[in-house]
Structure 1
C-alpha cells in the first residue's frame, strides 16, 4: 500500500452467520494483535483481508460465510465487499469510495466457470508458458491435474503478465480504478502451513517426500543462494564500471584530505569487509594496506580515490547484508548447540557447535524450522509498505521464543518497512504490548 494510504480498520459482519468483528489499526502503529478463543474466526478474518489483494481470491470470498467485509484506510477511502443472494452472478458486490479514489461498484462473474476457463486456457496454449520458472510450471501442472487445487490462490503465484492474460476469463473486468486500488494493496500472508513446501503435481498425500518436493526450509535456502549470487553479479558490474573510469577520476579529482581521514575510512571499510565476509559476499583475505603517517599529495589522491571506489562497490551489498545479518542474529539467538551460517554455495548452512559438522536442514526440529522460515519470509519476501498477516506465530515455539517474537518482529519491520496484523492464542506473544491487543469473541464488535 502506498505511503499515504494504510489500513486503519477491518470490519466484518455476519461471519459464520453469527460474529461481528472490528479491528482498529491506527495509522501510526506498526502492528496490532488479534486474540480470541478457537472458533471466533481469527484466521478467517486474515483470509478475507488477504483475499482482497489483486488478483482477488474469489474462492475464499465465496466459500466463507459473511454478510459484509469493510476495509478503511488512512486516506478515508473505504472498500466494501457484500454478499448478496441472487442479485449478483456469484453473490459478491465490491464497492469503493473515498475522497481520493473514484467511486466504483463491481460484481465479478461466477468463479467456478472462471476456474474451468483458466484450466482450458492452460491446456490450450502450452507454448505460451514455456518461459515460466520451475515453480510456475509446477503451479501450472497443479492446475491441470488436480481439480481440488484452489485456482485463485495458484493464479496469484504466477507472474503478472500471465495473470493479466488469465484474468480475461473473470467476465466483466474490474474497473481500472478498483483494479489499481487492489493492486496497490500489498498483502503478505504467513499462514499456519508455512513449513509446507511446494508439492509436485504427481505427489499425493501420504506418499513419502521425494527430491521433487523440497521442504520450505530447503526452498528458502535455495532461494537465498540465488539472492546472494545476484548480489555478487550486481557488485561485479559496479566494480567493472568503476575500474574502467579509475584513471580518469584519479587525475581529475584532487584529494584534499588528511592522513587521519584516510586511516579512519580504511578502518571502517575493513569492518565492512569483515561483516560481508561472514555471509560469503566478499573474500576476507584481502591484502592489508600499511598507510604511512605522512604522505605525498599524489599518495593521498590515489588512496582516497581507491577508498571512495571501494565504498561504492561495497555499498551494492548494503540491503542484503542488513537482511542476512539480522536473519543470522535472530535465528542464532534461538538455536541451541547449533549455528546458522550464510553460505554462498548453499544458502543456509547449519553446523553442530560441538564438532563443527554440518547438519542436514531437514534435521532441524519443527520449532527451529518455523523460526528460520518465518524470519526469512519476513526479511526477504515482504515488499516495503506491505500489510503482513501472521497466523499463530507461536506454532511449535517454546514460551521463551514466543516472548521474544514481538521484539524481533519490530526489528525486521523497521528494516523492511511493513505493518503487521498478528492472530494468536498466546498471551506470551503480546507480552508488554497487551494494549495493542484486540479481543475477538461472541459479544465483540
Structure 2
C-alpha cells in the first residue's frame, strides 16, 4: 500500500492544499512561499505514521487526509469539544475503506494529555535530564542545555522519542495501516544527532554528537558486521570445500576460457571491494592460470572455488552498491574543494586532500567539513543507509547550505538513489535550482483567492 494523495483543509486557518504524489516517477516536489505550510505538511504526515499525535494539537488545521493507492483513506479531524463546552480540541482519526462513503473505523486521541506525556519520563532517558522548575510550564533539558515551554518541549522531542505521544490504546486497524507504510522524515536540521551516544562521564548524562560523526561510527560498524558475516560464510564454505570437490561431477559445458573469465571477474569484484574499503588489500589473491593448464580435475576444483568466492563476496553486494554510489557522488561534488572520501572499517568516513594538488595529503575530520558538505553527506547517507526499501522519504529543504552547482545536480543524484534503494520521495523546497526543468514533478502550494 502506497500513499497516493495528501490533502489538508484549514491549515493555519487559511490554506487548503491537495498534493498528488508522482508514483510513476517516484519523486514529488512541493514548493510555495514561506508560511504556506510545506514543512507543516511533512511533519503532520510523519507524526501520523510515528504516533506523534501531540503535533496535531500544536498545528492549526481542520482536516488532514491521506489517500492510498488501494482506495482506502484516513482522515485526521480537529474539532471543538462542544459536548463538554470547554476550550479543548478533539483529534479524531476516521478510516474509510475503498468505496465506502462513511468511516468504517474511528479513533479519538483526546486522551493524550500532559499527564500521560510526562508520566513516561519515569521510565526513559528524560528521567535524568529533565528538571521541572517549581510548578511552571518551563522545563530544562540538562543534556542539551535547553529551556522550553512545555508545548515546545513536546514538539522538540517527539521526532526522536515517539513514545512520548503514543496512545496506549491505539486500535489494531490503525496499527495495521501504519505498519504497511514505511516513512522517514529528513528534517532541515540535519547536523545535530539527537540520539546521541552515551557519555563516559560518571553522571550518566548523554552528550550531543554531530550527525556526520554518528554516521561515520555507524558505517564503520556496518562494515565490521559485514566482515564478520563474510568470515562466518568463508569458514563454513572452507570447511566443506574438500567434500564438495570430491562430490562435484565433471562438467563438459564450461570451457577453459569461461573459467578464466569468471576468475578475472571475481578478482575485479574483489578489487572494487578493496577500493571502497570493504576488504583489506591483503585479501587480494591475484593469480594467473596459463592456457592449456586446466585438466578435468582442476576444472572441478575451480568450479567449486568460483561458486564459493561468489557466495563469499555476495555478502557485500548490497552495501557495496550503496557505498560505491555514495563515494561517487560525494567525490564528484567535493572535488571542487580538492577533498576525497574513502572508508575505513575502524573509523568510517576518511577525508583527505587530493594527492593531485598536494604531495603530502592531509587527513580531514568529518566534523571539519563545511556546513554544505556535511549537509550533503548526511542527506545522501540517510537516503542510502537509513531508509527501508519501498519507503516514502520526506525531505525538508534539501538545498540548505548547498551552492547552486550542487542544487542543480541534486535531482539527477536523487533519481539514481531512488532506483538503487527503492524509495519514493516527497520533498519541500524553495529552490528553482533544485527543480531545474522538472516542473512536471512539482505541486505548487497556493493561497486562498482574495
Shorter-chain TM-score above 0.5: yes
When you count strand as a share of all residues, which structure comes out higher? Answer: 2
Tell me if 1:96 matches 2:95. Answer: yes
The separation in 2 between residues aligned to 1:188 and 1:427, in whole angstroms, is 24
Q: 2:286 aligns with which of 268, 280, 288?
A: 288
Contact 1:146 1:201 in 2 (8 A): no
In structure 2, the residue corresponding to 1:292 is in which secondary structure? Answer: coil
Distance 1:15 1:103, change over 3 A: same
Tell me if 1:53 matches 2:69. Answer: no
Tell me if 1:371 matches 2:380. Answer: no
After TM superposition, the runs of 4+ consecutive aligned structure 1 residues lying more than 3 A away are 87-90, 99-102, 120-126, 139-142, 145-159, 199-203
Look up the match of 2:316. Answer: 317
Larger mean CA deviation between 258-267 and 278-287 belongs to 278-287
Distance 1:36 1:152, change over 3 A: closer
Contact 2:193 2:209 in 1 (8 A): yes
Contact 2:398 2:429 in 1 (8 A): yes
Look up the match of 2:34. Answer: 38
Distance 1:121 1:346, change over 3 A: closer
Larger mean CA deviation between 148-157 and 285-294 belongs to 148-157
How far does residue 8 in structure 1 lie from its aligned partner after superposition?
0.9
Contact 1:197 1:214 in 2 (8 A): yes
The separation in 2 between residues aligned to 1:333 and 1:95, in whole angstroms, is 48
Alignment coverage as a number of residue pairs: 414
Tell me if 1:345 matches 2:343. Answer: no
- 1:209-220 alignment, distance < 5 Å: 212-220=207-215
The separation in 2 between residues aligned to 1:202 and 1:258, in whole angstroms, is 58
How far does residue 385 in structure 1 lie from its aligned partner after superposition?
1.2
The separation in 2 between residues aligned to 1:184 and 1:234, in whole angstroms, is 30
Distance 1:316 1:87, change over 3 A: farther
RMSD: 3.0
How far does residue 251 in structure 1 lie from its aligned partner after superposition?
1.1
How far does residue 306 in structure 1 lie from its aligned partner after superposition?
0.7
The separation in 2 between residues aligned to 1:260 and 1:140, in whole angstroms, is 68
Look up the match of 1:136. Answer: none
Contact 1:194 1:373 in 2 (8 A): yes
- 1:184-223 alignment, distance < 5 Å: 184-198=180-194, 212-223=207-218
Look up the match of 1:413. Answer: 418
- 1:30-429 alignment, distance < 5 Å: 30-54=26-50, 56-86=51-81, 91-99=90-98, 103-108=104-109, 109-122=111-124, 150-151=153-154, 154=157, 157=160, 170=167, 173-198=169-194, 212-256=207-251, 257-285=254-282, 286-294=284-292, 295-335=294-334, 336=336, 337-353=338-354, 354=358, 355-429=360-434
How far does residue 243 in structure 1 lie from its aligned partner after superposition?
1.0
Look up the match of 2:131. Answer: none
In structure 2, the residue corresponding to 1:28 is in which secondary structure? Answer: coil
TM-score (normalizing by structure 2): 0.85
Larger mean CA deviation between 308-317 and 95-104 belongs to 95-104
TM-score (normalizing by structure 1): 0.86
The separation in 1 between residues aligned to 2:195 and 2:306, in whole angstroms, is 49
Distance 1:262 1:237, change over 3 A: same
The separation in 1 between residues aligned to 2:198 and 2:420, in whole angstroms, is 40
**Structure 2, unpaired ranges of 5+:** 129-140, 200-204
Contact 2:192 2:208 in 1 (8 A): no
In structure 2, the residue corresponding to 1:91 is in which secondary structure? Answer: strand
Q: 1:430 aligns with which of 414, 428, 435?
A: 435
Contact 2:198 2:207 in 1 (8 A): no
Distance 1:157 1:191, change over 3 A: closer
The separation in 2 between residues aligned to 1:58 and 1:83, in whole angstroms, is 12
How far does residue 157 in structure 1 lie from its aligned partner after superposition?
4.5
CA deviations on 1:359-378 (whole Å, 9 max, x unpaired) are: 12222111111111111111
